[in-house]
Amino acid sequence: MFREAIERMAPYTPGEQPRPGQRLVKLNTNENPYPPSPGVRRAIIAEAGASLRLYPAPRADAFVAAAARLYGLPRGMILAGNGSDELLTMLFRAALGHGDRVAYALPTYSLYDTLAEIQEARIVAIPLGLDFALPLEALAAEQAQLTVVCSPNSPCGTAASPEALAVLARRLGRNLLAIDEAYADFAETNALALVRRHRNVIVLRTLSKSFSLAGMRLGLLFAQPPLIETLLKVKDSYNLSRIAVAAGAQALADAGWMRRNVERVKRTRAASEERLRKMGFTVPPSSSNFVLARLAGRDMGPVCAALRRRGVLVRHFPNSVFRDALRISIGTPAEMAALFKALEPLIKPVIAARPRRRARG
């Protein structure tokens, strides 16, 4: 009944979202444990009236204007999306047709696979290098129509340097380089400045993580005006609601609130990394709001399930080289204490048992 490619493909599986009233410590989808700014609440209430009869601004003007002020870029270089997932969808739709090539390093955000399969594009998957390093040479050699770099990357949390990304952008010439910076506010550096210098670079951000607005669905895409104009052709006319536009504009105006929450998350991240390492996990230094805790050669699926039974949600990726890892979002100190209380007794017997086989990757 549908296109064969769609019938054949596996659906994207989002992390579990608890039902209302379910009491779980939720450390599985990298949300922010702290609320959005009080100003955001006021902006939402102010918008929730008679104006809702009217369609919203097609280009989310107030939100884009606030982004232009915060990031120091002209409005013509900014596109607003219903979450960065929508912006990624627009990008894949506009850039890739049947048989076109899209390249990225694996493991990474698995939505890229889904979006490529919808387009019937060919995925060029290149393994991450040692210590999760960006395989710059291999990606450049491919010269795919679209290259995607997730930095900081999920699920390992490590970031590529802006210098390496600038080299990659140059090497890709007229082919597109999209840099997914969903977690950039938790990192020490970012690559946003590259959009000024490179006509082929697109940077994506989200308000779901650092700005505590996953439920509002707000994303931003930065690129030079000709790329923005082309992407607009595949955009839904009114992709952001009036409420989302108001909330997004206020959240960006209150960026100081976001930065304070990011600092709190980073402090809890440092303490959590140290504690996980003491327990015997290998933890790559994270530049994001989650950590990847690995026990080489041990399948962490049963530990993830046992944590779930004890009321703690974390993420496990059974079909990846990170089967031996848990991805743990950084919560409040109290949430992390609950995690460790549940995790420590589960891990002791796993460490005592001999690993079944060596981990790859």
Ligand X SMILES: Cc1ncc(COP(=O)(O)O)c(C=O)c1O
Residue nearest to ligand X (CB): 83
Among 73, 126, 203, 214, binds ligand X (CB under 6 A): 214
Mark residues 80-119: x for contact with ligand X by CB under 6 A, - for none. ---xxx-----------------------x----------
Q: Does 206 bind ligand X (CB under 6 A)?
A: yes
- Under rule CB under 6 A, how many of the chain's residues touch ligand X? 13
Only one of the segments 77-85, 121-129, 308-316, 346-354 lies at the binding site for ligand X (rule: CB under 6 A); that segment is 77-85
* 49 HSE (CA, 13 A, CB side): 5
- Which of 52-60, 78-86, 141-149, 221-229 is the region at the interface with ligand X (rule: CB under 6 A)? 78-86
The position carrying tokens 């080299």 is: 167
Site string for ligand X, 158-187 (x = CB under 6 A): ----------------------x-x-----
Distance of closest approach, residue 81 Cβ to ligand X, in angstroms: 7
**Shortest distance in whole angstroms from residue 92 CB to ligand X:** 13
Nearer to ligand X, 111 or 307 (CB): 111
Looking at the Cβ atoms of 298 and 327, the one nearer to ligand X is 327
Structure tokens that stand for 280 in this block:
């015997």
3-state SS assignment for residue 271: helix
State the amino acid at position 303 in one-letter form: V
Distance (Å) of CA 311 to CA 144, 276, 325, 337, 338: 44, 19, 19, 13, 9
Instruction: Tell me the closest approach of the beta carbon of residue 159 to ligand X, in angstroms.
Output: 12
Report the C-alpha gap between 261 and 241 in whole angstroms: 26
Cβ at position 305, least distance to ligand X in Å = 22
DSSP readout, 162-218? Answer: HHHHHHHHHHTTTSEEEEE-TTGGGSS---TTHHHH-TTEEEEEESSSTTS-GGG--
Of 145 and 206, the one with the shorter C-beta distance to ligand X is 206
What number of residues does the chain have? 361
Phi first, then psi, for residue 178 (nearest 5°) are: -105, 130
Q: How many Å apart are CA 102 and CA 89, to the nearest integer?
A: 13
| CB-based contact 314:25 (threshold 8 Å) | no
Residue 36, CA distances (Å) to 40, 259, 302 in order: 7, 11, 34
Does position 150 bind ligand X by CB under 6 A? Answer: yes
HSE-up (13 A, CA, CB side) for residue 30: 27
C-beta of 214 vs 255, nearer to ligand X: 214
Q: Give whichever of 223 and 347 is closer to ligand X, judged by the CB atom.
A: 223
Site string for ligand X, 219-248 (x = CB under 6 A): x-----------------------------
Radius of gyration of the chain (CA): 21
| 291 in Cβ contact with 276 (< 8 Å) | yes
Q: Is 30 in the site for ligand X (CB under 6 A)?
A: yes
Q: Residue 81, SS3?
A: strand
Draw the binding track, 315-334, toward ligand X (x: CB under 6 A; -: no contact). --------------------
| 37, 114, 208, 239: residue in contact with ligand X (rule CB under 6 A) | 208
Binding site residues, ligand X, CB under 6 A: 30, 83-85, 109, 150, 154, 180, 182, 206, 208, 214, 219
